[in-house]
Amino acid sequence: MTEFDLKNLNECLEEYLPTDKLKEVKRILYGLDEDQILDLPDDATDIAHKHGFEIKGYRFKAREEQIRKPRLVRVGAIQNSIVLPTTASIEDQRVAIWNKVKTMIKAAAAAGCNIVCTQEAWTMPFAFCTREKFPWCEFAEEAENGPTTKMLADLAKTYNMVIIHSILERDIEHGETIWNTAVVISNNGKYLGKHRKNHIPRVGDFNESTYYMEGDTFHPVFETEFGKIAINICYGRHHPQNWMMFGLNGAEIVFNPSATIGRLSEPLWGIEARNAAIANSYFTVPINRVGTETFPNEYTSGDGGKAHKEFGPFYGSSYVAAPDGSRTPSLSRDKDGLLVTELDLNLCRQIKDFWGFRMTQRLPLYAESFKKASEPDFKPQIIKESLKPNN
């Protein structure tokens, strides 16, 4: 199966549900009484239409405060397919994807985005399924001085925009080791820092530990002109403690650049990042690529099935979730797309005050329990009925 019959859940609901029922279904699904549509400038929509990608705009509002002014930030989430066949040269493949995404970043700038984030490993096909080292390792590049960071740094400065991009990193200073890394470029065009993927999958065709291991950067939060941001890369979304640590370090927006396929994870997709936004009182932005990628050589999936060359389909469906539990509709499951969302960061503190999740978190209790659980002689705290006869 290389194409989806169901292109977009929200559009399906709008096509087939009566207006009165549609409103109530959306309230249950998205946590909003009314559609919070963000009107986008014609310049942005014209670029999208000309180049054939989807563009959607939504907003999250916060309560008006007496002391603080609204802290409005627009974020752009980019999902895309690769451009050339995986048999093309490494440089040609990368430049073709660059050119596609540069146009989408231009549209994001026209839409007023302050922060833009790409999908995971955006400059390449997600070739880790093959377990082949060559030629795929040639996509790796330096985080700070690599060609992709340099190219995006010019765009970040030109558009006064923070850009987060996820690459296969080559660490020249430490044995030329490869990592899965997200790079943050400030709106001044300067390299702000990087974060390496904390949790590496060993499931299905995601054979990523063949190429790189778990990251060593812990849970950094990057303070930008537009708010405190963090990046939870792909598989890390399955680990609640990973989300939690970004919150403890002060994140207001956590991006989740991903590459994941339908039958494996789609039932989890709309839940995990939304749960994280609720539990940690911040905004989350999960982003997934689209399309099916075909590789030169057949590979097996370790499931008894036949060898095959295709990996996918990646189901897109990028969205944004808010700390109050509401969320935007998703982008398409099969099209390139740009999701523009306006956030009022004041909502983060307002939800902390309302629900008190951080106040009632009881970190010392769990710190003690985690310490015990990490010891070799740990025994689970299970209470069983005594087998001794009663006196």
Positions marked active-site: 120, 197, 234
Mark residue 155 as left, alpha or beta (left: phi above 0; alpha: psi -120 to 50; beta: remaining). Answer: alpha
Q: Is 289 exposed, middle or buried (0-12, 13-18, 19+ CB in 10 A)?
A: buried
SS3 labels along the chain: CCCCCCCCHHHHHHHHCCHHHHHHHHHHHHCCCCCCECCCCHHHHHHHHHHCCEEEEEECCCCCCCCCCCCEEEEEEEECCCCCCCCCCHHHHHHHHHHHHHHHHHHHHHCCCCEEECCCCCCCCCHHHHCCCCCHHHHCECCCCCHHHHHHHHHHHHHCCEEEEEEEEEECCCCCEEEEEEEEECCCCCEEEEEECCCCCCECCECHHHCCCCCCCCCCCEEECCEEEEECCHHHHHCHHHHHHHHHCCCCEEEEEECCEHHHHHHHHHHHHHHHHHHHCCEEEEEECEEEEEEEEEECCCCCCCCEEEEEEEECCCCCECCCCCECCCCCCCCCEEEEEEEECHHHHHHHHHHCCCCCCCHHHHHHHHHHHCCCCCCCCCCCCCCCCCC
Q: Are 181 and 134 in contact (CB under 8 A)?
A: no
> What's the rounded Cα separation, in Å, for the pair 321 and 232?
14
Dihedral pair phi/psi, residue 190, rounded to 5°: -100, 145
The strand pairing partners of 255, in sequence order, are 231, 285
